[in-house]
Amino acid sequence: MVDLRKLVIQFHNMNSFRVVMGSNDKNLKVLNSLFNIKIFTKGEDIFVSTNNKETISLLEKIFETLILIANNNIIISERDIIYIASLAKNKDKEEIVDIYVNRLLITKTHAGKPIYAKTINQANYIKAINNNDLVFSIGPAGTGKTYVAVVNALSKLREGDIKKIILTRPAVEAGENLGFLPGDLKEKVDPYLRPLYDALYEVLGKKQIEDLIEKGVIEIAPLAYMRGRTLENAYVILDEAQNTTYNQMKLFLTRLGFNSKMVVTGDITQIDLPKKIESGLVNAIRLFDGVAGIKIIRFERIDVIRHPLVQKVLEKYEEYES
């Protein structure tokens, strides 16, 4: 039987304790799931069901970091717990606290709620887009590649930096082809672009987004509609780019016009093209790595801010595939 060990940490006040624990101890439950041990409180003391010194030391570091963040009047979510626990393995407490105290504001929702970069790579992603006209972002699902790009595009539209937002995806999903799906073009395309709509609605609200789409300020279309166009004063996002072919990627990238930005997102581990066809995204990353004016942001599993089980699922798949 494993003895219970008391963590050597000290809360400054009850408010700090409540923020760190979360409503109904939900933050504590996330740590339980991440470490697969029992972590519970008695008063303001925290106990763990392990004698592993490394685990105990890491948990103490995590809680000390969370206390410092809470003392800056920052609400800590379950997502934050997952990310901070991952960072604590390799970063100092002060570095982690700085990420939260000096958060990068992207924009605000239509309800006035601020939207911040949630990870170091998301902050680097925003800086890359602001400083370059062409940015590639690759990495697993759940890292915010598409969401951050869409939100940043809306921010620049609000500020008048661009006049148009164009969102596009290749119409290839799990081996399907649009031509075999029922309905008109809009009915065929909408399911593929649903994640893009969701991000748009959150920032400006459904009514304003639909008005902007009707006016042509925001355009959502399949990649094939980019042929023959030069896109100026626009913010163009190509999502799910791992499913483009070489020719499609070349077609897209050569549409870049003056005073425009292009953001290309994709997960090169989730390619749905036939096996003999090379992904246009894979080819582009190889071609343009290190080219001035083009930035490649590589998101990693640590940036996946989803349910703890998603990280475990990804980890197991990576082990299996390697």
34 and 140 assigned to the same domain: no
The CATH number that applies at residue 82 is 3.30.1370
| DSSP codes, 102-113 | T--EEEE-TTS-
28 and 70 assigned to the same domain: yes
132: which 2 tokens? Answer: 């370059």
237 and 151 assigned to the same domain: yes
The CATH number that applies at residue 307 is 3.40.50.300
SS3 label, residue 68: helix
pLDDT digits 0-9 by tens, 139-175: 998 899 999 999 999 999 999 999 999 998 887 654 4
What count of residues does the chain have? 322
47 and 149 assigned to the same domain: no
Per DSSP, what are the bridge partners of residue 236?
166, 262
Rounded CA-CA distance 72/48 in Å is 26
List helix spans (H) across 36-89: 53-70, 78-87
266 and 296 assigned to the same domain: yes
pLDDT digits 0-9 by tens, 288-298: 999 999 999 99
94 and 169 assigned to the same domain: no
| CA angle, residues 77, 83, 86, in degrees to nearest 5 | 145
Among candidate residues 154, 140, 160, the one with its CA nearest the CA of residue 268: 140
178 and 315 assigned to the same domain: yes
77 and 210 assigned to the same domain: no
Domain end (from 86, 101, 116): 101
Q: Specify the pLDDT at position 193.
A: 66
Rounded CA-CA distance 293/308 in Å is 36
Q: 114-138 in b/e burial notation, b at 16+ Cβ within 10 A?
A: ebebbbbbbbbbbebbeebbbbbbb
Q: Specify the pLDDT at position 176.
A: 42
pLDDT over threshold 80, residue 118: yes
Neighbour count for residue 319 (Cβ, 10 Å): 8
pLDDT over threshold 80, residue 307: no
Q: Specify the pLDDT at position 187.
A: 54
Whether the Cβ atoms of residue 192 and residue 171 lie closer than 8 Å to each other:
yes
Among candidate residues 204, 212, 197, the one with its CA nearest the CA of residue 164: 212
96 and 112 assigned to the same domain: no
Domain end (from 57, 80, 101): 101
Q: Specify the pLDDT at position 54.
A: 93
DSSP 26: H
What is the span of the domain harbouring residue 172? Answer: 105-321
Number of folded domains in the chain? 2
pLDDT digits 0-9 by tens, 68-101: 999 998 989 888 998 999 999 999 999 999 999 9
Mean pLDDT of 268-281: 92
pLDDT digits 0-9 by tens, 11-30: 888 888 999 998 888 999 99
- Greatest Cα pair distance, the chain, in angstroms, is 70
CA distances from 289 to 242, 246, 264 (A): 16, 16, 14
Domain end (from 101, 121, 148): 101
170 and 92 assigned to the same domain: no
Q: Specify the pLDDT at position 12.
A: 81
Write down the pTM of the prediction.
0.82
94 and 113 assigned to the same domain: no
Q: Specify the pLDDT at position 311.
A: 66
29 and 160 assigned to the same domain: no
Extract the runs of DSSP E, i.e. beta strands, from the chain: 5-6, 39-42, 45-48, 105-108, 114-116, 134-138, 164-169, 172-173, 176-177, 218-222, 234-238, 261-266, 294-298
pLDDT digits 0-9 by tens, 190-237: 566 676 788 888 888 889 988 999 999 999 888 888 887 878 999 999
CA distances from 256 to 37, 82, 155, 192, 296 (A): 52, 38, 20, 23, 17
